[in-house]
Structure 1
Amino acid sequence: MRAVNALGLDLVLLPNHQPKTIDAHQGQFDLILTDVLDFPTINKQVLFIELTDTYSQAYQPVFGWQASNIVMYTSGSTGEPKAIHKRLSQLIEEVDALGELFCPTDAGSAVISTVSHQHIYGLLFRILWPLRSGQAFCRENIEFQEQLKELRCSDKSFSSYTLISSPAFLKHLQQGDGALAELSHVFSSGGPLSVKHAAKARDILGCRVTEVLGSTETGGIAWRQQKVGSVLWQPLPGVKVDICDAGNLVVTSPYAGGTHYSQDKIELHENGLFDHKGRADRIVKVAEKRLSLAELEAFAEQSFLVKEAAAVLVTRGRRECVGLAVSLSPEGHRLLLEQGRRHCNLEINSYLITRFERVLLPRFFRYCDCIPVNSQGKRVQTALNALFLEKEE
């Protein structure tokens, strides 16, 4: 890799390594570096790098590449992935700030992750940070919650672990999943955790979750550790937050390369603290009434029938209405099996109507084992929309 970078090449991290994704982006790269032997054949040179160790150690020469460009892509959860160009020096500056703020590294500890390195959160936290600090990190992802309790049984080389994760993973933890993992720090990004899920993760994993708010464009923006009655976000070092006339978050940061106007709705408090109110692009109109899809989801998830919910705007002819994809709780599953879909729909709506007007209630429901997410743990909007294309009603 040192020889490749000496050629002055930029590093391109595609959204994933699926064949169609690689094919669609062939014009963006000249050479592929991979440790996958059966990599799909395409009209590009493929350089295979054999990696044998489960855990990788620090490789400091990478930090001599600071003049390099790294090309990443937005998650694509709201449309086609968009290329974002970053200087490696920007990312290193952010990593150093994170290290000074959180200082999660200690001798004998290792970093494990449930998220991909192909997005900025995973790249920063699971790759660049341990490289910079000299900490070991696991090359393979943790795919299932049950794997956490197996860590201490399968590998006694490390005294503790730092977990880099997402709400999609943490929401589905069960009692006992973290009993043997000996986690010293847990980070989450990709979306906000509810107070309920943050408390549950803390109880199971044995330490409070540090949530990080950010985007590919801006880098990290703010962080928080939720406690009862406290859900405010604290800007990261070097980051200045403000609010525009429309109530949206404005970020000025060296990691963003200047000032960035976001679609995040916030309420600004003293000392730069702020409350995140959801995305402006998730405020919709139904029958001329404004509705926050994020607010509907959050309230639905407080029902004892619902484990997770995702709301979308559904168009039928000229009419727009709400569709709700639901991952049911055990109680919800029992109700669905015993009483059927129609009764389950009515029960959830009878709960929602205690907060929302009838015209804003979901008209279409889809029940699924889990809400579709990408490798970063972010919801995939195209997959959610596809659930409502078939007419099951």
Structure 2
Amino acid sequence: MKPITGHGLDDVLAWRASGPVRVREFLADAQAVAALLPAGAGVLNLCEDRYHFAVLFAACLLTDKVSLQPSSHSAETLQRLAQEHPGCFAVVDGPFDVAGLPSLPFPDLAALTRVSVDRVPEIDADRVVAILFTSGSTGLPQPHAKTWGRLVQNGRAEAVALGLDRRPHVLVGTVPVQHSYGFESTFLLALHGGCSFWSGKPFFPQDVVDALAAVPQPRMLVTTPYHLGTLLASGLDWPALDICLSATAPLCTELAARVEAHSGAPVHEIYGSTESGQLATRRTTAGAVWQLLPGVRLVQDADTTSACEGHVEGVVPLSDIIELQDGGRFLLHGRHADLVNIAGKRSSLAYLNHQLCAIEGVQEGAFFLPDEADRSADGITRLTAFVVAPGVSSRTLQSALRQRIDRVFLPRPLVFVDALPRNSTGKLMRSTLQALHRRYVGRGGDHDAV
């Protein structure tokens, strides 16, 4: 058995616009909401407010329900989940298209009748309490069950790795709490890592600044490279920041150094996946080496590296090319799926993206290798690159790229766009880049710019 939280009853767990929320109040809210939940084993926790999510998650713990947390909230995804989890229902705290799924609004907490709480309830460590979803090779949601005991270990391990067990921080997250990164680093890290969290999900730079200003120090911003870039570009002054944490995409050293110079706070990254959970951390400006979280181990069989032990559920193969080192350290050399082989020459999309984004005037960019069916009519493999670079010409960019990468990897075409189609965590999904390719390029596209 493991407690719902490692905090004491009078510790602060969350910060809302109305002020701090102590564990005693949080558990009373959870018990009150639990009494309102209808029958059904699966609950799609679609609450945007991080405190609402936390209360509903705890209510599910108290009523033996499972929190279903899809990475996509599209109508197709929600309808498929309804088919695969009969009797499930959604809970929402704002305007949301639930695609015909049975749903109910998150209740007005102030109107609920609460009972006094004198202890922290305990939950069976082996019980599946959450199912997170990724989109596999088919594009359909792939479920990954998480047991309570491993989730507790997860939150504790991250706290130790970042030193937050010794000095708890208030967590301000720009990422959705339903997704694995936000779930682990803004919720589990608070619940079992000794920290507390801000209830909102700021997105725009001014919102992030306001959220940081609303909570006391020490503060940790849990965010993405995309949000860090937009924050810096905004020119806003940031409230004092103690740690910055980034994930969902590689963070280049140059951007990390600029963030550290602007904020005075060290920038760390988290490495992991929905399947495995978070696995390792590094301070970006300190070098390329990653350090495993306490208890986690990596094993290799030929070209495949798998994660196991600690808070990892079973043995989970990873999608990345990894070079193991001593002492639980390792290097990442890109994803297997990112490797590009053209005319006998090899590179990776991550390396090409880094070279593209390092060119002066490029705000963001991404290379794309089309599927075989989408390639040119002559059957020759040609890379496409999508780029956001206002005021920079195609000729200038192509010339700069020739100085940085082999000619066989030069993009044909180089497509200028107003913005890249990132999802709510700042990721660029292959499916959206594929749609972008079909829209702008199509079969036989062989121009230098659009």
Instruction: Classify the TM-score, shorter chain.
Output: 0.7 to 0.9
- Distance change >3 Å, CA 290–CA 79, structure 1 → 2: farther
Q: Secondary structure at the match of 2:331?
A: strand
TM-aligned CA deviation for residue 151 of structure 1: 4.1
Q: Quick check: 1:211 aligned with 2:269?
A: yes
Q: Which residue of 1 aligns with 2:143?
A: 83
TM-aligned CA deviation for residue 61 of structure 1: 4.9
Q: Percent identity?
A: 25
Instruction: From 270, 290, 294, give the equivalent of 1:237.
Output: 294
Q: Quick check: 1:293 aligned with 2:349?
A: yes
User: How far apart are the structure 1 equivalents of 2:415 and 2:302?
Assistant: 37
Structure 1 contact 178–206 (Cα < 8 Å) conserved? no
Q: Which residue of 2 aligns with 1:182?
A: 240
After TM superposition, the score normalised by the length of structure 1 is 0.84
- Distance change >3 Å, CA 51–CA 385, structure 1 → 2: farther
After TM superposition, the score normalised by the length of structure 2 is 0.74
Question: 1:147-296 maps to which residues of 2 (within 5 A)?
Answer: 147-151=207-211, 155=214, 158-174=216-232, 179-227=237-285, 230-246=287-303, 248-296=304-352
Deviations 1:292-327 (A, max 9, x none): 111111111221132222111131222321000112
Instruction: From 117, 123, 136, give the equivalent of 1:64.
Output: 123
Q: Which residue of 2 aligns with 1:369?
A: 418
TM-aligned CA deviation for residue 174 of structure 1: 1.8
- Distance change >3 Å, CA 355–CA 17, structure 1 → 2: closer
Deviations 1:193-251 (A, max 9, x none): 111111112122220111010001111111100236x22111111112244432x4332
- Distance change >3 Å, CA 152–CA 7, structure 1 → 2: closer
Deviations 1:134-190 (A, max 9, x none): 64422221101233333466x3x5234221111221233326756342222211111
User: How far apart are the structure 2 equivalents of 1:287 and 1:279?
Assistant: 20
More divergent stretch after superposition (9-18 vs 194-203): 9-18
- Distance change >3 Å, CA 158–CA 378, structure 1 → 2: same
- Distance change >3 Å, CA 282–CA 254, structure 1 → 2: same
Q: Secondary structure at the match of 1:214?
A: strand
Q: Which residue of 2 aligns with 1:310?
A: 366
Q: Secondary structure at the match of 2:312?
A: coil
TM-aligned CA deviation for residue 26 of structure 1: 1.5
User: How far apart are the structure 1 equivalents of 2:264 and 2:136?
Assistant: 33
Number of aligned positions between the proteins: 372
Q: Secondary structure at the match of 1:95?
A: helix
Structure 1 contact 297–311 (Cα < 8 Å) conserved? yes
Q: Which residue of 2 aligns with 1:340?
A: none
Deviations 1:68-118 (A, max 9, x none): 431111266983331111112211111112222324378995321110111
TM-aligned CA deviation for residue 51 of structure 1: 5.3
- Distance change >3 Å, CA 266–CA 20, structure 1 → 2: same
Q: Which residue of 2 aligns with 1:50?
A: 108
Deviations 1:249-303 (A, max 9, x none): 3322332223222121122333232221110111123344333111111111221
Instruction: From 405, 410, 429, give the equivalent of 1:356.
Output: 405
Paired letter, 1:270: D
Paired letter, 1:64: I
Q: Which residue of 2 aligns with 1:385?
A: 434
- Distance change >3 Å, CA 306–CA 37, structure 1 → 2: closer
TM-aligned CA deviation for residue 60 of structure 1: 8.4
- Distance change >3 Å, CA 44–CA 313, structure 1 → 2: same
In structure 1, stretches of 5+ residues that fail to align are 53-58, 336-343
User: How far apart are the structure 2 equivalents of 1:387 and 1:35?
Assistant: 32
Structure 2 contact 174–208 (Cα < 8 Å) conserved? no
Q: Secondary structure at the match of 1:201?
A: helix
Q: Quick check: 1:33 aligned with 2:76?
A: no
User: How far apart are the structure 2 equivalents of 1:65 and 1:20?
Assistant: 33
Structure 2 contact 268–281 (Cα < 8 Å) conserved? yes
Q: Secondary structure at the match of 1:305?
A: coil
